[in-house]
Structure 1
Amino acid sequence: MKIALLGSGVMGSAVLSSMVEADGVEEVVVTDVRGEVAREVAARHEANDAGVTVSGTDDNVAAVTGADVVVLAVKPQHMGTLLAQVRDAVEPSALVVSIAAGLTCAYLEAGLPDGVAVVRVMPNTPATIGRGVAALSAGTTAGPEHLDTVASLLARTGLVVRVPEHQQSVVTAISGSGPAYVFHLIDALAEAGTAGGLPRELALRLAAHTVAGSGLYAVESGQHPALLREAVSSPGGTTLAALEVLDERAVRAAYGAAARAAARRSDELSESLGAPSGEKA
């Protein structure tokens, strides 16, 4: 399988790390408007254990020619120009995968040859360390086998789930933008630690490791977070005193409002880029 990865930024590099380890991949061509950047990214993966050939170039058309899978990893505002550039080079049997936020399958299909299978992906930044979330949605002509292929290619980025496309804006609000909410929490906890007299570096380490450990514990325990919270909350203790303040200040409601705002903004950005709304499944 030959893969063309168009875009070598943070998320492009993250999916590249996963793809070179996926079964059936023989060659990956990475592109960037700056050829030297693409070659530098490719060079970091040339000596992979799977024996996959990885190269870099600034020639998108050459990369796409003969590719079985084309991964679109450029910024949404650059997608129209990119699609116009490579449209005639995309193989009719190719699978096109987009990790550009806000762009619907309908928008992508309109810029590609008729019948080309499209899968839309919403990843997040923890994918760079294999702890991310990627939500997949199939386009009009993409079937379960195409989703299986994408899931295999992204398996090493973290959790991979499948959702109807009309849920992608909510996914964006929860897992796409979610890391920023968590970083905001870490920063706030660290500031509280510093205000209480801890050295700044120690406060940051305590906050970051506590959030990371708690998240992993929630995943691996399989228990509802309310039960996990109760297990930490002794009657009349310090944790309940803190939780009472959070409830008084409507922190839970604030998170819900923030997620809804992010979902609305996702829809607005999609519309501003000229992308048709995703059809409801």
Structure 2
Amino acid sequence: MIILAATPIGNLGDASRRLIEALGNAEVIAAEDTRTAVQLMRALGVERGGAENRPRLIALHEHNEAEKAAEIVALAASVDVLVLTDAGMPAVSDPGFPLVAAAAAADVTVTAIPGPSAVLTALAVSGLPTDRFTFEGFLPRRSRVAALAPLAREERTMVFFESPHRLAESLADLATAFGADRRAVVCRELTKLHEEVARGTLVSLAERFAAGARGEIAIVVEGAAPATASLDDGVAQVVALVAAGSRLKEATAEVAEETGLSRRDLYEAALVARR
């Protein structure tokens, strides 16, 4: 089988007993960075003795996982393969998804050793609603405001990853896309010695981190308030804007942004209303 093993995101004390046992028994380890895997084993006191007792190490990273998936799935048909990433759970914003998909297609068993997750840790400490959330991964490097626009009316709490040197700029772009007063939390160096959980509005956090930051970053953003306008009210606004000279498409987009109503529903209903 294939065993996805969560590794500490910072504090080695978070390593589970199952992870340590698996590292001690694995015949094959597929790792995002084989050097990091060896360092982890040493740090956790996992001793494998002579060369004959050491596991076979296979590099599995974003640049080769598509081509390595078939090889690892074939191995997993006869031996357990332990899959590690540098931190957290494989396949969650880390290498592993193509491998799991290939294993599922080949009817090879996939299981997991659960453990640390930066996504869930950031969400849990944020103080923002946790009953419904969405993980959006790393923010795009370019055209962030345009890429974020479809999420402006997302009502669930959102979790993003970001690089420290782009943090202030990304927070400013989030403020532009979602509104300056939207609540957010910047989680930095979670579980590590210099852990920081900074709460505020998007604009205030952009100012706070204007000088930059260090370490691993997760940003948790409050979801949008539920739409309160009715579709009929929205259509009436669209029709009024069109009567004043706006194009239907532009009027629909403007009303959808203001009310949180579906742009598609508004457009189709406005077409009917104008007949």
Q: Normalising to structure 1: TM-score of the pair?
A: 0.32
The answer to which structure has the higher helix fraction is: 1
State the structure with more CA Rg.
2
